[in-house]
Structure 1
Amino acid sequence: MRSGGTTLAATLLGLGLCGLVLAGCAGPGDTLKGPGSAEIVEKWTSCAEIAPQAGVMLPVPRGSAAVTSPPAGVEPRVGRIDPAFTPVAAVLCGRDVVPGAAGGREQVATERRADDIGPLVAALGLADEKRGSGEIACTLDMLVPPWLALLDDQGRWLRPYLPKDVCGKPRPEVRAALDGLRLTTVDSRTVGQVESPEAEAAGCAQRWSDMVWVEATLGRPGRVAPEAGPKAGPLRLCVYQVSPSERGGGKPAGDFVYGRPLPPERQADVLRALAGTRPAADCATPASRFAVLRAVDGSGPEWYVELDACRRFLVVASPGGSQLGQGDAALAALLGPN
């Protein structure tokens, strides 16, 4: 994971037209009305105190009342830089995913500072471009800018408005200026584990969704597809525990418990059990544990097996779609930790 860049994250939202991504694509003659002056706050402290959620969710500007110190968890108004405020530094608050000291991956909150900000300040002073003007086609990707604050030589700070292009995204000049900042990390702290050393060693994701429950809830019971027979390459087993609060939800997620590549003899026994054609039983008890079987090389179908409760299994094969079948205690035992 790169730790020093400021490239705006591009997230494909799949929301349809550009208008659905950023509050509407205006007609050729329309302009995006910019905000007023940014709210100036008297004293910068740290990202940990002022923007503890930066990088987790998009900042939302609040109302217009000026304050000298923002309440905890509430951000000052985003706006244009007042002529009476002379920025001398930029601070970016965010989060990175980095290797853990003992393996796995951790999420760290970072505070980075840049002092040479002339090009950035110039870019922030540009006007918004006309929305929907010209022949430019707006794309579906949403550019998520970093959490940015500007400081003056008195230690005051504000959240600057980022001028928009014809699609309502930050102008190219703003993006280039952000990418060109020479940043120094002034604080970095671990805020959570993304992937445990055990999950990494097993080759499994830390969290996974119980797709058996999802498919059964959607009312798609059926027989196992022919493509789910015993012919398969080496498989990896990953087992997940579903917390009580997640069970029975729309898409319950489990946390990694154990995993490993299946030995050939065990794999043959498992695939023979999964090649049965019994339809899934009518059952509404959510599982507390489920297994995921995937090819080590990422090819072929996937199998999901409830290890308790209803003990159904799901085959996700293409072609063939998703098909539910009925497992039993013997199949669950084959997918145990030993």
Structure 2
Amino acid sequence: MRLIQLRGDGGDIRVGVVEGDLVRLLDGVESTWALANAAIAAGRSLEAQATASLGAATLDYAELLREGRVLNPLHHPDPAHCLVTGTGLTHLGSAAARDAMHQKLQQSAEEGTLTDSMRMFQWGVEGGMPAPGTAGAQPEWFYKGDGQVLVAPGSALPSPEFARDGGEEPELVGLYVIGPDGTPHRLGYALGNEFSDHVTERQNYLYLAHSKLRACAIGPELRTGPLPRDLRGTSRLRRDGKVVWEKPFLTGEANMCHSLENLEYHHFKYAAHRRPGDVHLHFFGTATLSFADGVSTRPGDVFEIEIPEMGAALANPLEVAPAGFVPGGVRAL
């Protein structure tokens, strides 16, 4: 099942099920978060809860996207209770890149010159796919912000005025709600543009945290149920209506060095990440960046990310945000 959130005719939030070119609205459901909590309380799946709430009204999906009425597929009514995070160094890339990476790992190990990033990647290759129910190697983990950093499909991704770069990261995102007893419940998966400052990150890997504190986009759809192991999508950059960069990208566990279960464990093992009612949006990493191909983005560029199995593409233009804070802006009380 593919679910979306949208702005209704009266400005209220509605939830709908994608049925081909149409979206069938759910009755009596004010948000995906509310739908998930109702499913948890009833002891049923999200799909079953949505099916029980199906209404008769339908809307044209393409028109909703054109009008900018489609929202992120999951949010918390209080943005402070939505944690946006991610894990890196999780993907193997294409077969050729994988072979090259392994050769580089072997050569670097023999020479004793492994960087910290390469060493962490090696740990993932060796121990990121443990047997089900057991813990494997810890991945790189980062924090992006709370629910305030989310940008709806079609809306502009704001790059702060102090940024050195604003580049896309096409990724899968896990969408979760924490139950009353502290159990994380996975609603499903969505497309995501993790959007980072790669120039800042390349200065020094200890600047990774700074490079990730940015806006991001998720959606348009939430896909429920099991995820195919091999997913193949396309990431592109449009400038003045023309494609200036395009590349296929691979994701899903068949193209990763960490299992999704292992990534979930190392995020939710922390008690602070299991607070009842909270929403978690967790990016699972990527292996494809326009920045890696020497592309420098500009305001007005449009990022497009698509995977056929995940439904409609995620598209967002880039803009530079106005200055929000200046040196010396802290006041003493």
Q: In which range does the TM-score fall when normalised by the shorter chain?
A: under 0.3
TM-score after normalising by structure 1 = 0.20
Structure whose residues are more often helix by fraction: 2
